[in-house]
Amino acid sequence: MDQRDLRIGDLILVRGTGFISEAIEAVEHSQYSHVAGFVGHKELIEAEGFRQTGYAPVSKYKGQADVFRCMFADRESRQNILEHATYQVGGRYDYALLFVELIRYWTRILLPYKEPSNARICSVLWADIYRDIGIDLCPGIKYPSPADVAGSKLLIKIGSL
């Protein structure tokens, strides 16, 4: 898929190649371990461990990712997505939630958890951005994982990077 075909708010679901990514994929029984979102100008915004939430080039995931689009996001929604995503830049990665999600997938037990206002894991970052504009990609799942996002009935796969 050509980067020119991407729209603001398209979600990039990544198949990881490292140990941590492969562990996430194995625990979730999913081919995806990471979620980023397209924000224009060949850039993504992502929450990634060991750095602040921020920008990355789309080319970072060439050959490793599929592109999903929410067909309910119109032009106005996409502008709102951009504003909400940009606001998240500089946030922290939520390692505690990563542990809570690990427990949820291993045991099917959802531990009580209060999300900090400025910390997210990748999939929750983008699920929250969509929730903020009135689209709940993963109804009934407060802290969705990459597998939950990939399984959203509101998204369709439109191609691969």
Backbone angles phi, psi at 145, to 5 degrees: -95, 175
Q: Which helix (H) or strand (E) holds 155?
A: strand 155-160
Residue carrying the six token digits 């531990």:
111
Work out how many domains the chain is built from and give that number: 1
**Using an 8 Å Cβ cutoff, are 146 and 64 in contact?**
no
pLDDT of residue 16: 83
pLDDT of residue 6: 97
Indicate the DSSP class of residue 51.
S
- Six-digit token pair at 62? 């060439």
Q: Which of 122, 154, 125 is nearest to 138 (CA)?
A: 154
**Using an 8 Å Cβ cutoff, are 99 and 122 in contact?**
no
**Using an 8 Å Cβ cutoff, are 66 and 161 in contact?**
yes
- Six-digit token pair at 118? 């400025």
pLDDT of residue 86: 97
- Give per-residue burial for 66-77: e unless 16+ CB within 10 Å, then b: bbbbbeebeeeb
The tens-digit pLDDT sequence of the chain (161 residues) is 988 899 999 999 999 877 777 778 777 778 999 999 999 999 999 999 999 999 999 999 999 999 999 999 999 999 999 999 999 999 999 999 988 888 888 888 888 898 888 899 999 999 999 999 999 999 999 999 999 999 999 999 999 99
pLDDT of residue 131: 97
Residue 155 CA to residue 74 CA, distance in Å, equals 13
Q: Which CATH number goes with the domain that contains 130?
A: 3.90.1720.10
What is the domain range of residue 113? 3-160
